[in-house]
Amino acid sequence: MNPACIEVVEGDRPLLLAQPHVGTWLPPELEARLTATGRARTDTDWQLDRLYADLLAGATVVRARFSRYLIDVNRPPDDRCLYPGLETTGLCPTTDFDGRALYLPGREPDAAECRERLERYWRPYHAALEEQLARLRRRYDHVLLYDCHSIRSRIPRLFAGRLPDLNLGANDRRSAHPALIATAEGVLAEAEAAGYTWVTDGRFKGGYTTRHYGRPETGVSALQMELAQATYMREEPPWSWFEARAARLRPLLARLLAALLETLERRVIGDQS
């Protein structure tokens, strides 16, 4: 366990923001084994913590500080493929989204090293998520895990064309209470009037976290929001923040979170279950 690698902010509302891919930390000895591509950490969910900062008072935040190139906490521990038949990256990825090598020749991790990363980084992250969800569940009948992500809008190896701006993932509508999905889609439909594009369960249906924790019948719903990075930042180095775009997007995300919280706290969900 390396406690500095996982950041937890405890809030008192029934909504948890998970940020698995904002981290950039890599152990120095690992970084020395990477190509320039690996060291660039291109597939980071850049500046997502800044994008969501202070959007919802009282939200709990669980954030991984290490890079997904060390281990991807949004992949299952057995590394089974989340999207059979489609290209994806694995638990301890050896290529970036474009298929370029992250490691110098012969320096990739072996199975034992992947197992060690699983114990040292992946399990503590999920232990933190479980602990926080359990803490909130002691207080509320129903809680929501909102998994925050962002990705380049064009990655030909992973999907055709341009990704919609806002990609809601609900594991084929199974990971969240229908009232929460309806709430999110209502806000996204409003966003469409403002020029944003969106989809539910399109290319991204939710990763391991959404699928594993999102079991509404147990009082825990989960939704993934995969944002096209172009909605707030430059999609190439140096990954600059676009203030005007972010200034439009942040109020939309704040409305989305506030609407989800209202649905949770109106106890409509708790009364029904």
Q: Where on the chain is the footprint of Zn ion (CB under 5 A)? A: 21, 45, 149
CB crowding 96-107: b at 16 or more within 10 Å, else e: bbeeeebbeeee
Smallest gap from Cβ 267 to Zn ion, in A, equals 31
Nearer to Zn ion by Cβ, of 21 and 142: the residue is 21
Nearer to Zn ion by Cβ, of 149 and 177: the residue is 149
Nearer to Zn ion by Cβ, of 132 and 224: the residue is 224
Nearer to Zn ion by Cβ, of 148 and 261: the residue is 148
Smallest gap from Cβ 209 to Zn ion, in A, equals 10
Residues in contact with 257: Cβ distance below 8 Å, sequence separation at least 6, in sequence order:
15, 55, 56, 59, 146
Smallest gap from Cβ 96 to Zn ion, in A, equals 13
Nearer to Zn ion by Cβ, of 206 and 216: the residue is 206
Q: In terms of residues, how long is the chain? A: 273
Which tokens belong to 97? 């989204």
Instruction: Please identify which residue in the block is written with the tokens 């057995």.
Output: 78
Smallest gap from Cβ 45 to Zn ion, in A, equals 4
Collapsed DSSP state (helix, strand, coil) of residue 34: strand
Distance between CA atoms of residues 207 and 203, nearest Å: 11
Smallest gap from Cβ 29 to Zn ion, in A, equals 25
Smallest gap from Cβ 234 to Zn ion, in A, equals 17
Nearer to Zn ion by Cβ, of 166 and 269: the residue is 166
Nearest to 83 by CA among 164, 225, 214, 201: 201
* Alpha-carbon distances, residue 243 vs 185, 230, 232, 233, 250 (angstroms): 26, 12, 7, 8, 10
